[in-house]
Structure 1
Amino acid sequence: MQYDVVIAGAGPVGLFLAAELAQGGAQVLVLEHAAVADTPLKRLPFGLRGLTAPTLEALDRRGLPQALAATQVRMPAKGAPPPGTAHWLAQARPLGGHFAGIPFALDRVDSGRWPYRLPGPAATQVPVELAALEVVLAERAQSLGVRIMRGTAVEDLQPQADHVRVDAGGQRFTGRWLVGCDGGRSTVRKRAGVAFVGTAPEFTGHSLGVTLEDPTVLTPGRQYTDHGMCNFNPPGTLALADFDGGAGHRQPLDRDTAEALLRRVSGRDVRVRELHLATTWTDAARQAERYRHGRVLLAGDAAHVHSPLGGQGLNLGLGDAMNLGWKLAAVLRGEAGEALLDSYHAERHPIGAQVLDWSRAQVALMRPGAGSRALAAVMADLLDTTGGATYMAERVWGISQQLPLGGAHPLVGRSAPDFVSADGLRMGELLRAGRAVYWVFDAGSPLCGVLDAWQPQVQCIIRQPIDGMGLAALLVRPDGIVAWAADTGEAAGDVREAASRWFRSAA
């Protein structure tokens, strides 16, 4: 059977993309090498992830807030984190996040500095369990008709003029398009011949679940040492950064080697009674030179890898899926030309590059040495100011994210504010149809009716919002990004030209 799209990888990015495409009318097959979805690394404490504003808005815009609530990690009484999770979650002051382990307080963040954001049901940050999130996304994808084949690893691919042949699990599949969401060691990326460029690792990260002879030997929280960093969350969850140039990555660990590693990095006389779980990672920061190669596209870790510092990777990948999904679906329906897919690389590659640099900057603060400790102390002072905490929140929560769409209005390229009309019409709910929204705020405006020829691709709405932020109208893409906006009393500009950039007129 030929599918519209074959996706390699049934992680959160592949599943979310599959649902986006299926909602747009595509027949989608997802191939996943792992036979079983759930693993201990996807459950707490190792499976703790933080979703930020762009991701939470995307999930709301696809009708998943209630399902998302079921995945949320609930903090026990008095703000204590679940056993074994990040120590900075247990601080006395409510915290908004961290940079290289340096926290910033929520009460220092001044949201009044964000003029193009309105209150809405989507929060700025939510802790979730990865395993639970994947269940929600898989259920949504399958409810839309997506076929998921587990235990079927992609082995090879042969791009053709109008399709891609994919060999996986001893079978051959055909898709008009192939998307690699198959991780940092992506077979799709390698077989497509896309270069993966960037910087080599400085350290090996180790996540360990252990039983210690005497847990009091280690100090809870993050400690910097002559060899790297030891983050201890009692009674037996550890994250180590060993500045060995990445030599320890994917090397097997038994109890004895884990104990030797822990003693060396921590500098303490610690004894490991049992080793329950161990995995490694590095701070290598690499990015695909291009996210599209003919009929092969890349998203998530297949397109970019970096250290998990700051929890940006999952959000970055889901942002890829939200950006690519509606575009590829529109191409498949014949409502847009293939050139639209080039905008996927143009918009998402720079954001990926920014996150890679964000990761590298954190590594610089973690390096062993007096200079790094002094620089970290300066950063801690900055993050304890309103300006520093607000800037950090903008970056960590994705509030400042803006695509380079070239519009004259400062709202263009940003996530659409969640406008609400007096009769309860809400922007986030309008976007659940997976179509663009053209919202005119005044029934007497000459902007009314100018995009009628673009229906049904574009929903045309005429309502006065409760808070219009001084706008006359705006055009919002299916992914929730503002494509055009005009202020009240100012020149409207050519909204037709803006619409024709993304959609084909039915006229």
Structure 2
Amino acid sequence: MPRDVIVVGAGPVGLMLAGELTLGGADVVVYERLAAPARESRGASLTKRTAECFDQRGLLGGLGPTEPADAHFGGVPIDLAPLAEDHHGRRGVPQFRTERMLEEWVTGLGAEIRRGQEVTAFEETDEAVRVLAAGPDGPAEESAAYLVGCDGGRSSVRKLAGIGFPGSEGRRGFLSADVTGIETRKRRIGENLPGGSMIMAMDLENGVTRIVVHEAGMAPHDRASLTYTDLADAWQRLTGESLHHGECRWLGCFTDASRSAAVYRRGRVLLAGDSAHIQPPAMAQGLSVGVQDAVNLGWKLAATVRGWAPEGLIDTYDAERRPVGEQLARNARAAIELRLTGEDMDPVREIMGELVRHEGPAGHLAGMVSNLGVRYELGKGEHPLLGLRMPPGRELTLTDGTVTPVAGLLRTGHGLLITTDPALARLAEGLEDRLDIVTGTWNQAYEPGLDAVLIRPDGYVAWTSPGTTDELTGTLARWFGTAQRS
């Protein structure tokens, strides 16, 4: 029997997707090119929304200690304190720790991870995708209803599918390393230097410091010939400090290229994470936005393979997430130009600094950086929550007296109908295998009021009462299909 889904790539995005699919009842296998989990800490920060996504599934505590991350856009600090809602992300989260947490979750749910398996080709038919892979025991093949590429910016799946990857070429080069045995002033959001240079230094864990260097005029590097001395020399030229005595735990390089795939789905092949969009990691967005891709796609693809998805549900993945990837590429280009253009950009930086002292502009930029500003077209209405994520910390008192935050009600990966009116719950009868129905009262008053709310499995608000023009029955059918009536 063919699998339901083959996921290619066991990074944070592929693992998150495998978990979401398995929660939704799909049979999933993950193919990973590397023979063993990486110990690199490439991604070291999470946006606020991604931390919330982990919290929705009860995973956030598994990351271990973290601390609030400062916000900025292109090096212009954003003061988050005056905002009505907390937009702080989390920093000090080495990527290997995120992957370890997710792997434990995914395998605990029953998904299989096959390491040392590199996808070399696939063939799509009307019914399935036949995937060919090379591994330690030689060639292998397996079929699945769908194939999802979560295999990074150089995605083999994207290239084999013939999906275009338009965007800007990398013109600037950056060096990055994780180093122990050094002491330097921390520059957590980076520090601009004269002429368009930039340096960054932030703590990870166990005495490891993440160092990033861009020296004005620095072109993209050849990864194969890169040495730690290259980075240490550049740092010393820019700061006068020597890091040459440090022990380099990991060394990498990147460019300012920003791209977004032409489509996120072609037939039975889909893309998520860096396979679908890349941008300079200096914005700490790539891993986070990729995890949110997985949370958006997982329940929709699981519903499709299980057979209850309403028509067109899987197409909403591209419709909702591709604009986010395109905006991310645009934002990254703008932020890099703002940060690295040199003194010619100083007047713009001054104006940006003035603007973010006002709550409106600061809130807009903070929403982009935190991803709390992501809004989908989910229905007609005036309620300010419609299309946004439901604030997961909002608490309810259930009819049995239990007090719980909304995040605690999303652990199952199901949709969620919260209502203060038990009679309204009857409209969702027969959907209990994919929708949890909860009756209770809000511990904090909403303004405007919120007597009932329909929340998708990814945490986004699809319907409210009052405030939504669409009928609940039609919205339920749009996202959760036909009820199973006995």
Range class of TM-score, shorter chain: 0.7 to 0.9
Aligned pair partner of 2:301 in 319, 328, 334:
328
Which structure 2 residue ranges, 5 or more long, are not aligned?
A: none
One-letter amino acid of the counterpart of residue 48, structure 1: A
Residue 401 of structure 1: CA displacement? 1.7
- Residues 1:146 and 2:111 are matched in the alignment: yes
Tell me the equivalent position of 1:92. Answer: none
Q: Distance in 2 between matches of 1:216 and 1:29?
A: 44
The reply on whether 1:424 has 2:402 as its aligned counterpart is yes
CA distance in 2 between partners of 1:462 and 1:255 (Å): 58
Are positions 1:50 and 2:46 aligned together? yes
- The alpha carbon displacement at 1:471 in A equals 1.7
Instruction: Please name the residue that 2:7 is paired with.
Output: 7
Q: Name the structure 1 match of 2:462.
A: 483
Look up the match of 2:145.
176
* Equivalences, count: 465
Q: Output aligned runs, 1:263-342, within 5 Å.
A: 266=238, 268=240, 272=244, 276=248, 277-337=250-310, 339-342=312-315
Q: Is 1:241 aligned to 2:220, yes or no?
A: no
Match for 2:413: what amino acid?
Answer: G
Shift of the alpha carbon at 1:110? 2.1
| Contact in 1 for aligned 2:23/2:413 (Cα 8 Å) | yes
Range moving further from structure 2, 15-24 or 58-67: 58-67
How far apart are the structure 2 equivalents of 1:332 and 1:436? 17
- C-alpha change, 1:217 and 1:298, in structure 2 (3 Å) is closer
Residue 100 (str. 1) matches residue 74 (str. 2): yes
Distance 2:377 2:326 in 1: 14
Which amino acid in structure 2 is aligned with residue 160 of structure 1? T
8 Å contact kept, 2:310–2:480: no
Query: In structure 2, do the counterparts of structure 1 residues 268 and 461 end up closer, same or farther at CA, with 3 Å as the change threshold?
Result: closer
Letter in 2 for 1:59: F
CA-CA distance at 1:272 after TM superposition? 3.6
Q: Distance in 2 between matches of 1:7 and 1:35?
A: 16
Gaps of 5+ in 1: 75-88, 90-94
How much has 1:236 moved relative to structure 2?
A: 7.2
Aligned to 2:169: 200
Instruction: Quote the Cα distance in structure 2 between the aligned partners of 1:216 and 1:3.
Output: 51
Deviation at 1:36, TM superposition (A): 1.8
Give how far 1:274 is off. 6.4
- Counterpart among 37, 50, 66 of residue 61 in structure 2: 66
User: 5 Å matches for 1:155-174?
Assistant: 155-169=120-134, 170-174=139-143
Shift of 1:395: 2.3
What TM-score do the two structures reach when normalised by structure 1? 0.83
Partner amino acid for 1:139? E
- 2:27 corresponds to: 27
Q: Which residue of 2 aligns with 1:348?
A: 321
460-469 or 167-176, which moves further after superposition? 460-469
Change (3 A) 1:467 1:178: same
User: Does the CA-based 8 Å contact 1:403-1:414 persist in structure 2?
Assistant: yes
Deviations 1:17-63 (A, max 9, x none): 10111111111110111112132x32xxx5522241x2222222212
Distance in 1, Cα, partners of 2:18 & 2:115: 15
For the residue of structure 2 that corresponds to 1:505, the secondary structure is: coil
Match of 2:366 among 390, 393, 414: 393
Q: CA deviation at 1:502?
A: 1.3
Query: CA–CA distance in 2 between the matches of 1:243 and 1:259?
Result: 15
Structure 1 residues 285 and 157, CA gap change in structure 2 (3 angstroms):
same
Compared with structure 1, are the counterparts of its residues 66 and 203 closer, same or farther at alpha carbon in structure 2 (3 Å cutoff)? same
The 3-state SS of whatever aligns with 1:463 is strand
> Please, what TM-score do these two structures have when normalized by structure 2?
0.86
The Cα shift of 1:485 comes to 1.0
Amino acid at match of 2:90: V
User: Which one-letter code corresponds to 1:14 in the other structure?
Assistant: G
Q: Which of 416, 431, 436 does residue 415 from structure 2 map onto?
A: 436
User: What does the per-residue CA deviation read over 1:189-219, in whole Å, with 9 as the maximum and x for residues that have no partner?
Assistant: 000000001111231111135699x988999
Structure-2 separation of matches of 1:340 and 1:33: 31
Question: Partner of 2:16: helix, strand, or coil?
Answer: helix
Distance 1:354 1:33 in 2: 30
SS in 1 for 2:289: helix
Is the contact made by 1:207 and 1:279 (CA closer than 8 Å) also made in structure 2?
yes
The amino acid that maps onto 1:73 is T
Could you tell me how far 1:416 is from its partner in structure 2? Answer: 1.8
Whether the 8 Å CA contact 1:472–1:486 is kept in 2: the answer is yes
Contact 1:6 1:31 in 2 (8 A): yes
Change (3 A) 1:346 1:240: same
Is the contact between residue 56 and residue 124 of structure 1 (CA under 8 Å) also seen in structure 2?
no
Shift of 1:376: 2.1
How far has the Cα of 1:324 moved from its partner? 0.4
User: In 1, distance between residues paired with 2:367 and 2:217?
Assistant: 33
CA change 1:279–1:347 in 2 (3 A) is same
- 1:222, 1:230 within 8 Å by CA — same for their partners in 2? yes
Distance in 2 of aligned mates of 1:226 and 1:435: 52
- Could you say which residue in structure 2 is the equivalent of 1:458? 435
The 1:279/1:255 distance shift into structure 2, 3 A limit, reads closer
For 2:159, what is the secondary structure of its paired residue? helix
- Structure 1 residues 232 and 486 mapped into 2: Cα distance closer, same or farther (>3 Å)? closer
Q: Distance in 2 between matches of 1:139 and 1:217?
A: 36
Q: 1:337 to 1:215 in 2, by over 3 A?
A: closer
What is the aligned-residue RMSD (CA, Å)? 3.0
| 2:89 aligned partner | 125
Q: Is the 8 A contact 1:452 1:460 kept in 2?
A: no
Q: In 2, Cα distance between the equivalents of 1:466 and 1:61?
A: 19
Counterpart Cα distance in 1 of 2:378 and 2:180: 52
* Equivalent residues of 1:32, 1:150 under 8 A apart: yes
Give 1:292's aligned amino acid. R
Match of 1:196, SS?
coil
Instruction: Report the identity percentage.
Output: 33
1:222 counterpart = 2:215: no
Closer/same/farther in 2, CA of residues 413 and 215 from structure 1, 3 Å limit: closer
After TM superposition, the structure 1 stretch with the greater mean CA deviation from structure 2, 419-428 or 58-67, is: 419-428
